[in-house]
């Protein structure tokens, strides 16, 4: 029994975001194909409100509008009201976000879209204050009832605009995209903020894929700007308030130019990708600080987002007790009461001010060098750091007694795959066996619930799986499986990756564009079948699949895979020239192709020891694979060591060199 005054049909949902709205007076419904039939039958516009559980402004609009009975009465009378969790249904979110971009030139969540009864978009926006929201509700419903012809004409034109966003005109200018990429990057680097990191604007998002690109570009071009920008960005992000200095992990983004004030929600996908980026940077820069960041992300994931079964939850809310950031901020008086005589050093270390450094409270962030603190407090750095470490534990113990931010405990296939890739990368670059064990265990768990023969499912909640996978789920899982194979040399993961790629081509491939649809051929089309190519915080499913096709072509000797990834690059080249910042993962593929994807196959008694030595040398675009008993992939055919020997082959462009008998010979071959 519940003592809530109102309960709508969302009470039967599994999504934490939908359940947050289950007691609104609005007659919310979950999305289903029946919604369109109901809207046509009742001749009403559909209000589709899209958000996610950790979204601060989604909460604000709920409190101001959706919880109000007078506002809900207007919504219930005039509209079919639908709530969608964008993380469950990114396919629907993409369609209406594109429509919103065409309408307003910007996007964001909550995404509130009004559609015709057939689902075609008519009008939309993000956050609306109560008075404005009610005005929009009344005027729009009146417009539809009084001027249907105009409404249908406008919706038709808007829908056509959404469809045109997925039209591609391939460039038939050869297959070498590298010179064009270098030209685009020359302009891109002018946007770097070399003092604070990131770009010369705010808000600032981590964008891990872009900084991995820039490390790779520097290794190819030796352009020092890319190296400086990457090192500065990763250092300043760690020092800033976007990083949780007590418990580890990164918040969603910084609202300012200094990484100081975060939007406090913490997402699995950000931390998953940042783990790989910081691991790569730790090796690339030989920087122990970045390795420490990787360990802190691991600790955060294990403590906050890892289920006891070994799955990864989706997010922590920005709010607690209805206040953004309340769980994370401190007054100086609180710190002094807890730390006593240690408070002065702690406050100096983390930029704590008597009247607060943000809205009367203090966000912990670093803005003073250790050498300055050493001089001011007349203590050696080692003693300062030991003192801070101990006091972090004290504050963390007190913070744990506060009301915690809400947890979105649904399991998403693609995001779990990103986390697996992060752990695999951490092992590849840092050689910590814990990370490989975590990646392997998580992969087996993910495959256990998400994979039904060759069909993937996207969501797992309360022991049940739901919603058939989108191209993003296939792409991220295939990519994770390839990385896990490259980390641990277990061929079974590569074989599953190839099987899933074949199924992905069957369900999602569009021969006319040479790209992959986001939704499968079995899923009903809403307005249009989207093709995502822009690399955002999460790279596009198409760019990830292009990477996977390129690598699988080598491992399995698949000329058709190689041909497909070439066609994909041809298809996106014109768009990449217009908006290079949205194609970082595509550029990583171009860089990979320019350098040449190299595989070093090692077999024999000391194979693992050799690989450990080789991985200590940063070799961009090179993977080291141990050939063990059993041969299931063409790359490993014929590569067998004589008893008590260790032998390696260096393979590039589908050609393997002569057997090598020492790590020195291998490194010499790689440097030629």
For residue 263, give the CATH number of its domain: 1.50.10.10
Instruction: Judge whether 151 lies within some domain.
Output: yes
- Which of 595, 628, 656 is a domain's end point? 595
Q: Count of alpha carbons within 13 Å of 573, Cβ hemisphere only? A: 22
Q: Which residues contact 432 (CB under 8 A, 6 or more apart)?
A: 426
Tokens 């590849």 sit on residue:
428
Question: The CATH number of the domain where 80 resides is what?
Answer: 3.40.30.10
Q: How many domains does the chain have?
A: 4
pLDDT tens-digit series, residues 103-117: 998 888 999 999 999
Report the distance separating Cα 659 and Cα 672, nearest Å. Answer: 16
| Mean pLDDT confidence for 298-322 | 95
Give residue 444's pLDDT: 97
pLDDT of residue 655: 87
List, as one string, the DSSP characters of 503-564: HHHHHHEETTTTEE-SS-TTSPPBSB--------SSPPHHHHHHHHHHHHHHHHT-HHHHHH
3 occurs within a structural domain: no
Residues 110 and 142 in one domain: yes
Domain boundary among the residues 401, 421, 440 is at 401
Give yes or no: residues 135 and 59 share one domain.
yes
Domain identity same for 199 and 346: no
Closest residue by Cα to residue 141 from 159, 123, 119: 123
> CA separation (Å) from 661 to 60, 193, 617?
65, 47, 18
Q: Which of 544, 575, 595 is the last residue of a domain?
A: 595
Lowest average pLDDT, out of 209-218, 294-303, 611-620, goes to 611-620
Same domain flag for 549 and 572:
yes
pLDDT in tens, 635-658: 888 888 777 889 999 998 888 999
User: Is the peptide bond between 521 and the residue preceding it cis, with omega within 30 degrees of 0?
Assistant: no
**Is residue 173 included in any domain, yes or no?**
no
Instruction: Give the pLDDT band (50/70/90) at residue 51.
Output: very high
349: its two tokens: 């270390």
Q: Are strands 622-626 and 598-604 parallel, antiparallel or unpaired?
A: parallel
Report the pLDDT averaged over residues 372-384: 93
Average pLDDT over residues 597-620: 90
Task: Kindly indicate the confidence band of residue 169, based on its pLDDT and cuts at 50, 70 and 90.
Answer: confident
Cα 422 to chain centroid, rounded: 11
Answer yes or no: are the C-beta atoms of 15 and 86 closer than 8 Å: no
The first and second tokens of residue 470, run together, are 């989108």
Residues 57 and 148 in one domain: yes
Structural domain includes residue 4: no
User: Model-level pTM?
Assistant: 0.95
Question: Region 37-60: what's the mean pLDDT?
Answer: 94
Tell whether 335 and 309 lie within a shared domain: no
Residues 299 and 254 in one domain: yes
One domain, residues 376 and 447: no
pLDDT band at residue 9 using 50, 70 and 90 as cut-offs: very high
Q: Residues 425, 565: one domain?
A: yes
Residue 170 forms part of a structural domain: no
Assigned domain for 361 exists:
yes
- Report the chain's mean pLDDT, rounded to a whole number: 94
Residue 286, pLDDT > 70, answer yes
Q: Is residue 86 one of the residues assigned to a domain? A: yes
Q: Per-residue pLDDT tens for 340-351?
A: 999 999 999 999
pLDDT above 60: residue 358: yes
Q: Is the pLDDT of residue 205 over 90?
A: yes
pLDDT at 522: 87
Asked if residue 278 has pLDDT above 90, the reply is yes
CB 544 within 8 A of CB 479: yes
Of the chain, the percentage scoring pLDDT greater than 70 comes to 99
Backbone angles phi, psi at 316, to 5 degrees: -110, 140
Residues linked to residue 192 through DSSP beta bridges, in sequence order:
199
Q: Is residue 612 assigned to a domain?
A: yes
Average of pLDDT values for 382-394?
A: 96
What distance in Å separates the CA atoms of residue 457 and residue 507, rounded to the nearest whole number? 13
pLDDT above 50: residue 1: no
> What average pLDDT does this structure show over 369-398?
95
User: Is 2's pLDDT higher than 70?
Assistant: no
One domain, residues 581 and 604: no
Q: Tell me: do 355 and 231 sit in the same domain.
A: no
Residue 638 belongs to what domain range? 598-671
Count Cα atoms within 13 angstroms, Cβ side, for 117.
13
Residues 61 and 88 occupy one common structural domain: yes
């Amino acid at each position: 029994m519940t003592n809530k005054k109102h309960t709508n049909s969302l009470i039967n949902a599994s999504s934490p975001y939908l359940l947050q709205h289950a007691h609104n007076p609005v007659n919310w419904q979950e999305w289903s194909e029946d919604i369109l039939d109901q809207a046509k039958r009742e001749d009403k516009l559909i209000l589709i409100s899209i958000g996610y559980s950790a979204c601060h402004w989604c909460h604000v609009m709920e409190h101001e509008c959706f919880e109000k009975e007078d506002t809900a009465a207007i919504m219930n009378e005039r509209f079919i009201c639908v709530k969608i969790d964008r993380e469950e249904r990114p396919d629907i979110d993409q369609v209406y976000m594109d429509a919103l971009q065409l309408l307003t030139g910007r996007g964001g969540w909550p995404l509130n879209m009004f559609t015709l009864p057939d689902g075609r978009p008519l009008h939309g926006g993000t956050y609306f204050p109560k008075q404005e929201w009610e005005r929009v509700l009344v005027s729009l419903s009146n417009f539809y009832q009084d001027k249907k012809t105009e409404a249908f004409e406008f919706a038709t034109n808007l829908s056509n605009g959404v469809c045109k966003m997925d039209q591609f005109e391939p460039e038939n200018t050869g297959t070498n995209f590298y010179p064009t990429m270098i030209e685009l990057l020359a302009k891109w680097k002018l946007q770097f903020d070399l003092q604070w990191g990131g770009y010369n604007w705010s808000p600032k998002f981590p964008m891990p894929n872009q900084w991995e690109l820039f490390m790779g570009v520097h290794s190819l071009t030796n352009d020092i700007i890319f190296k400086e920008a990457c090192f500065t960005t990763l250092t300043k992000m760690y020092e800033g308030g976007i990083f949780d200095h007590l418990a580890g992990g990164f918040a969603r983004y910084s609202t300012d130019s200094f990484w100081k004030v975060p939007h406090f929600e913490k997402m699995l996908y950000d931390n998953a990708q940042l783990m790989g980026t910081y691991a790569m940077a730790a090796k690339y820069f030989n920087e122990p600080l970045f390795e420490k960041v990787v360990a802190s992300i691991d600790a955060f994931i294990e403590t906050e987002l890892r289920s006891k079964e070994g799955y990864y939850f989706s997010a922590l809310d920005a709010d607690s007790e209805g206040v953004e950031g309340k769980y994370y901020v401190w007054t100086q008086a609180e710190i002094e009461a807890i730390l006593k005589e240690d408070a002065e050093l702690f406050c100096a270390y983390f930029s704590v001010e008597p009247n607060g450094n943000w809205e009367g409270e203090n966000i912990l962030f670093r803005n003073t060098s250790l050498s300055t603190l050493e001089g001011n407090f007349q203590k050696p750095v080692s003693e300062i750091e030991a003192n801070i470490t101990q006091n972090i534990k004290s504050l963390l113990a007190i913070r744990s007694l506060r009301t915690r931010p809400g947890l979105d405990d649904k399991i998403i296939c693609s995001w779990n795959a990103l986390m697996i890739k992060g752990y695999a990368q951490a092992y590849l670059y840092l050689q910590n066996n814990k990370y490989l064990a975590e990646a392997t265990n998580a992969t087996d768990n993910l495959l256990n619930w998400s994979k039904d023969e060759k069909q993937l499912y996207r969501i797992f909640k309360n022991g049940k799986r739901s919603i058939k996978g989108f191209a993003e789920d296939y792409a991220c899982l295939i990519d994770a499986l390839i990385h896990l194979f490259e980390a641990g040399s277990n061929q079974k993961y590569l074989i599953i990756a190839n099987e899933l790629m074949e199924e992905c081509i069957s369900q999602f491939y569009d021969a006319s564009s040479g790209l992959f649809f986001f939704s499968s051929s079995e899923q009903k089309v809403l307005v249009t079948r989207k093709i995502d190519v822009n690399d955002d915080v999460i790279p596009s499913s198409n760019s990830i699949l292009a990477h996977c096709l390129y690598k699988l072509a080598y491992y399995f000797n698949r000329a058709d895979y190689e041909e497909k990834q070439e066609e994909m690059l041809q298809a996106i080249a014109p768009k990449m020239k217009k908006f290079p910042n949205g194609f970082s993962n595509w550029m990583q593929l171009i860089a990979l192709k320019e350098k040449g994807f190299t595989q070093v196959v090692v077999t024999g008694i000391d194979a693992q020891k050799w690989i450990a030595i080789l991985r200590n040398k940063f070799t961009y675009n090179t993977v080291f694979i141990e050939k063990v008993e059993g041969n299931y992939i063409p790359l490993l055919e014929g590569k067998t060591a004589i008893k008590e020997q260790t032998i390696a082959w260096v393979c590039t462009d589908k050609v393997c060199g002569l057997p090598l008998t020492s790590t020195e010979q291998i490194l010499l071959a790689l440097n030629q």
